[in-house]
């Protein structure tokens, strides 16, 4: 156990600190002292100055010390410590607090986040001096910083030079997964009100910056691989949850369990997914008019309608326009295309509607794979093969007739794999007659069959596009049946 120091601080003010000290364990050697202000080293000196009043002490009075401050002490006061350099033993009277000079602070804290704190402050009693502040974060004080940034708005408000602003950037961004309390102090006086920053509940900008910093610190292939695996898994989970919310997967599961227990539950609205090349725009083409007409009919019958484009990604304007019509437009980054939509919504879909031949070819098999219980409707609009056959006859072009035959095979395959087919031409596609061994109807499934064919729309009751007419069935040889739908 080392012997304590013998000594005393005789003077400690804004000019100097002075006193005497002796180490009884080493009386023949002067004590080396460290002078600290608010924990920061100011000077290191030896206690070897002669004082006549200390002749009775060891070293014949050569044990005094004095340190004149190299610069003025802080206006807001400070804590002075005098410790021996060897073992950090304080001498009697240390630490000593220098009282603050009179001040009257005015200002405000304008902005605080996980990166910095900013505002302005000035001393109305001493407008020319720079106010120094200390940020205390979660109870831990940081470095003092000056409020001397120029701000034009302060000068224009009549505050002299306007150099009263501060913008203190934290040494490291605050952890977004934790709550934080921030206070500003001018010495022992608190400036402004305490600020509480709650932990992030969403992926805000501060969390993104924090996460990006973590990614940038990955320097090995294994670390990057682990990060990619985690991000991929997380993205997959987010997409699955978004899809489950759209088609009420949780409610459907609860309903199934209640049904098995023979309990009564509220009905769940059926869901339909419509797929076309681009977002339907009635000013663009007739196919969009037909598609929107069918969507309105589905909505009138209680269906929740979702749309996704297969070729041209929809814009935000398209999303807003369809939302105004009560249609959910599925967009990146959650839904990157029809395959993603079918994968995420599949088991919750009652109807999958494929518009045009190319979409029927591309997504029929995926519909069967991801939405095996959904009714598959193919809307062909018109038979391009029939038109090309006629053109080949009129123009006497056998090569065009071969193209039409190839196209007809594609149409026949899609018609054969679909549950229902919609067309707007009251024509007899005789090429389909060999495909169907039993009658096939072109009509909407489920609730559609229980509704009248004429669907009125109050917003435009006289519009020729305000209803769908089911025409009488056209007999196809030898045993196929086709229902044609006509707009108008």
Query: For residue 349, what pLDDT is reported?
Result: 93
Q: Which residues sit opposite 481 in a β-bridge? A: 475
Determine the Cα–Cα distance for residues 288 and 278; give it in Å rounded to an integer. Answer: 9
C-alpha separations of 185 from 74, 113, 227 in Å:
13, 18, 41
Query: What's the pLDDT at 212?
Result: 82
The partner residues of 131 in beta bridges, in order of sequence, read 147
Q: What is the pLDDT, as a whole number, of residue 87?
A: 86
Q: 345 preceded by cis ω (within 30°)?
A: no
- Measure the CA–CA gap between 355 and 381, rounded to whole angstroms: 8
Sites in the chain below the pLDDT cut of 50: 427-488
The pLDDT value recorded for residue 445 is 39
Most distant CA pair in the chain, distance = 133
Cβ 67 vs Cβ 18: under 8 Å: yes
Phi, psi of 221 (to 5 degrees): -60, -40
> What span, in angstroms and rounded, lies between the C-alpha atoms of 473 and 482?
6
- pLDDT of the residue at 204: 73
Q: What is the 3-state secondary structure (H, E, C) of the chain?
A: CCCCEEEEEEEECCCEEEEEEEEHHHCCCCEEEEEEECCEEEEEEEECEECHHHCCCHHHHEEEEEEECCCCCCCCCEEEEEEECCCCCECCCCCEEECCCCCCEEEEEEEECCCEEEEEEEECCCCCCCEEEEEEECCEEEEEEEECEECHHHHHCCCCCCEEEEEEECCCCCCCCCCEEEEEEECCEEEEEEEEECCCCCCCHHHHHHHHHHHHCCCCHHHHHHHHHHHHHHHHHHHHHHHHHHCCHHHHHHHHHHHHCCCCCCCCCCEEEEEECCCCCCCCCHHHHHHHHHHHHHHHCCCEEEEEECCCCCCHHHHHHHHHCCCEECCCCCCCCHHHHHHHHHHHCCEEEEECHHHHHHHHHHHHHHCCCCEEEEEEECCHHHHHHHHHHHHCCHHHHHHHHHHHHHHHHHHHHCCEEEECCCCCCHHHCCCCCCCCCCCCCHHHHHCCCCCCCCCCCCCCCCCEEECCCEEECCCEEECCEEEC
What does the pLDDT read at residue 207? 74
Quick one: CA dihedral 226, 232, 235, 237, positive or negative?
negative
């Amino acid at each position: 156990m080392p012997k304590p120091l013998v000594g005393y601080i005789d003077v400690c003010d804004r000019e100097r600190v002075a006193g005497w000290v002796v180490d009884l364990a080493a009386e023949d050697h002067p004590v080396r002292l460290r002078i600290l202000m608010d924990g920061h080293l100011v000077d290191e000196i030896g206690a070897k100055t002669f004082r006549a009043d200390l002749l009775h002490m060891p070293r014949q009075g050569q044990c005094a010390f004095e340190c004149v401050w190299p610069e003025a002490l802080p206006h807001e006061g400070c804590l002075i410590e005098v410790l021996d350099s060897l073992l950090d033993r304080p001498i009697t009277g240390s630490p000593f607090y220098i009282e603050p000079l009179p001040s009257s602070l005015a200002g405000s804290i304008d902005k605080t986040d996980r990166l910095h704190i900013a505002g302005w402050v000035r001393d109305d009693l001493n407008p020319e001096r720079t106010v120094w502040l200390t940020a205390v974060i979660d109870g831990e004080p940081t470095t003092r910083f000056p409020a001397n940034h120029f701000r034009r708005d302060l000068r224009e408000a009549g505050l002299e030079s306007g150099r009263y602003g501060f913008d203190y950037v934290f040494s490291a961004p605050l952890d977004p997964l934790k709550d934080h309390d921030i206070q500003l102090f001018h010495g022992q006086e608190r400036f402004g009100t305490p600020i509480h920053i709650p932990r992030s509940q969403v992926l805000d900008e501060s969390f993104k910056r924090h996460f990006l910093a973590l990614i940038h610190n990955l320097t090995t292939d294994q670390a990057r691989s682990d990060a990619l695996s985690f991000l991929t898994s997380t993205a997959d989970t987010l997409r699955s949850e978004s899809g489950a919310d759209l088609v009420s997967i949780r409610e459907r599961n609860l309903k199934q369990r209640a049904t098995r227990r023979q309990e009564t539950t509220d009905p769940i609205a059926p869901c339909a997914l419509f797929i076309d090349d681009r977002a339907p725009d009635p000013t663009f083409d007739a196919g969009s008019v037909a598609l929107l007409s069918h969507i309105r009919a589905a909505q009138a019958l209680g269906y929740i309608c979702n749309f996704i484009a297969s070729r041209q990604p929809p814009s935000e304007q398209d999303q807003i326009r369809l939302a105004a019509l009560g249609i959910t437009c599925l967009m990146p980054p959650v839904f990157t295309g029809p395959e993603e939509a079918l994968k995420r919504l599949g088991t919750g879909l009652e109807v999958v509607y494929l518009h045009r031949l190319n979409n029927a070819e591309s997504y029929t098999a995926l519909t069967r794979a991801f939405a095996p219980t959904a009714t598959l409707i193919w809307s062909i609009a018109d038979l391009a093969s029939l038109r090309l056959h006629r053109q080949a006859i009129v123009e006497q072009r056998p090569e065009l007739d071969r193209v039409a035959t190839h196209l007809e095979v594609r149409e026949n395959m899609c018609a054969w794999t679909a549950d229902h087919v919609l067309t707007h031409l009251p024509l007899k596609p005789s090429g389909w007659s060999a495909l169907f061994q039993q009658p096939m109807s072109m009509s909407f499934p489920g609730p559609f069959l229980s509704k009248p064919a004429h669907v009125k729309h109050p917003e435009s009751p006289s519009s020729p596009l305000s209803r769908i007419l089911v025409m009488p069935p056209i007999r196809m040889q030898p045993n196929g049946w086709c229902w044609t739908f006509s707009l108008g």
